[in-house]
């Protein structure tokens, strides 16, 4: 009976102040969506880093006048270098083949370039992509080396952008969370005020503190959980409309977000939504009801 009483009080409480409840749920939902998005992004960036850095290469271009001994010496050095995992030699003919496939849409350009204009190069894969700088310092003065290009430089730019988007989402989540928190506190105060007679009688006849507080705290928790459900819906919609829709062109660049990832992030959203609301409600009640 008591459980039934508490639950019906929760529903009545949410309904009594329905505009406030909706405001509370919406802010909560937006905040939790941002939190979820930022969490997804975090996993995403990690996944992508793994994926890209595994395949990343440093290209050491040789100058046109490089001599055979220089080339052999450099090859030997690279192959014995502990930082280097793999060395692939690309000669002028292979470079031309690559060039042709890369620019097959621009036949004029391909026709204008002759195979021996393209530099030969060593494509090396590093054991740890972040040690690029060492390789650069070590080999930039070596005879026959023209230029050293690190692909991770470019990737860093992309990851910086992704990380800042993630930080913006997180900041938005926090700002919205503060708004949601204040709304929860306000809603609970209004609820406690509208039930002040009941609360006074309950305190008088000796109802236990948890029994007095439970309907209010649960009211906030239910709002938090509804908010996280709406956040889940928003994330699903975002995946469906954005990633699988208008951003699908970027699919090769961004590693895909699976439904599993979204479902995985939901407990985090629901947990944060529920706990933050419960905590706020409980603290508000301590000040407001003094129970």
Partner 1 sequence: MTKTYPKASRPSLDNVSVSIEKGEFVFFIGPSGSGKSTIIKMLLHEVAPNKGRVVVNGKDVTSMRSWKRPHFRRSIGCVFQDFRLLPNRTAYENVAFALEVIGKTKAVARRVVPEVLELVGLGGKEHRYPHELSGGEQQRVAVARAFVNRPLILLADEPTGNLDPDTSIEIMRLLDRINRTGTTVVMVTHDSNIVNQMRRRVVEIESGRIVRDQARGVYG
The residue ranges that bind partner 1 (CB under 8 A) are: 1-2, 5, 197-198, 200-209, 211-212
Ramachandran angles phi, psi of 85, nearest 5° = -95, -40
Q: How far is CA 69 from the centre of its chain?
A: 49
Strand order of the sheet with strand 145-150? Answer: 84-90, 121-126, 58-62, 145-150
| Least Å from the CB of residue 211 to partner 1 | 6
Measured from the CB atom, is 25 or 217 closer to partner 1?
217
Tokens of 97: 């083949």
Measured from the CB atom, is 16 or 71 closer to partner 1?
16
Indicate the SS3 state at residue 62.
strand
| Least Å from the CB of residue 200 to partner 1 | 7
Q: Quick count: other Cβ atoms within 10 Å of Cβ 277?
A: 30
Measured from the CB atom, is 211 or 240 closer to partner 1?
211
| Least Å from the CB of residue 287 to partner 1 | 15
How far CA 236 is from CA of 33, 185, 230, in Å, comes to 10, 29, 10
Measured from the CB atom, is 243 or 282 closer to partner 1?
282
| Least Å from the CB of residue 289 to partner 1 | 12
Indicate the SS3 state at residue 60.
strand
Contact 74, 138 (CB under 8 A): no
| Least Å from the CB of residue 206 to partner 1 | 3
| Least Å from the CB of residue 194 to partner 1 | 11
Measured from the CB atom, is 3 or 249 closer to partner 1?
3
Give the separation between CA 77 and CA 154, rounded to whole angstroms.
Answer: 26
Q: Where is 36: in which H helix or E strand?
A: helix 18-55
β-bridge partners, 123? 59, 88
| Least Å from the CB of residue 208 to partner 1 | 5
Measured from the CB atom, is 2 or 114 closer to partner 1?
2
| Parallel/antiparallel/unpaired status of strands 145-150 and 121-126 | unpaired
Question: 126: which residues sit within 8 A by CB, 6+ positions away?
Answer: 56, 58, 83, 84, 85, 132, 135
Ramachandran angles phi, psi of 87, nearest 5° = -125, 130
Measured from the CB atom, is 16 or 100 closer to partner 1?
16
């Amino acid at each position: 009976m008591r459980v039934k009483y508490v639950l019906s009080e929760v529903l009545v409480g949410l309904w009594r102040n329905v505009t406030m409840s909706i405001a509370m749920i919406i802010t909560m939902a937006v905040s939790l969506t941002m939190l979820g998005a930022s969490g997804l992004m975090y996993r995403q960036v990690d996944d992508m880093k793994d994926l890209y850095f595994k395949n990343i290469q440093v290209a050491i271009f040789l100058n046109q006048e490089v001599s055979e001994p220089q080339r052999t010496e450099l090859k030997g050095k690279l192959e014995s270098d502990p930082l280097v995992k793999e060395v692939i030699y690309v000669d002028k003919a292979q470079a031309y083949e690559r060039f042709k496939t890369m620019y097959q849409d621009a036949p004029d350009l391909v026709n204008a370039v002759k195979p021996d204009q393209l530099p030969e190069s060593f494509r090396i894969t590093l054991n740890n992509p972040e040690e690029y700088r060492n390789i650069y310092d070590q080999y930039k003065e070596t005879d026959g080396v023209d230029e050293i290009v690190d692909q991770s430089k470019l990737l860093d730019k992309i990851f910086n952008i992704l990380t800042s988007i993630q930080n913006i989402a997180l900041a938005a989540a926090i700002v919205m969370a503060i708004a949601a928190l204040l709304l929860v506190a306000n809603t609970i105060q209004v609820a406690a005020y509208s039930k002040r007679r009941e609360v006074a009688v309950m305190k008088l006849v000796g109802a236990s503190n948890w029994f007095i507080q439970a309907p209010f705290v649960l009211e906030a928790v239910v709002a938090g959980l509804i908010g996280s459900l709406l956040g889940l819906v928003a994330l699903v919609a975002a995946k469906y409309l954005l990633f699988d829709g208008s951003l699908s062109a970027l699919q090769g660049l961004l590693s895909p977000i699976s439904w599993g990832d979204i479902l995985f992030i939901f407990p985090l959203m629901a947990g944060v939504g529920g706990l933050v609301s419960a905590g706020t409600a409980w603290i508000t009640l301590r000040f407001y009801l003094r129970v």
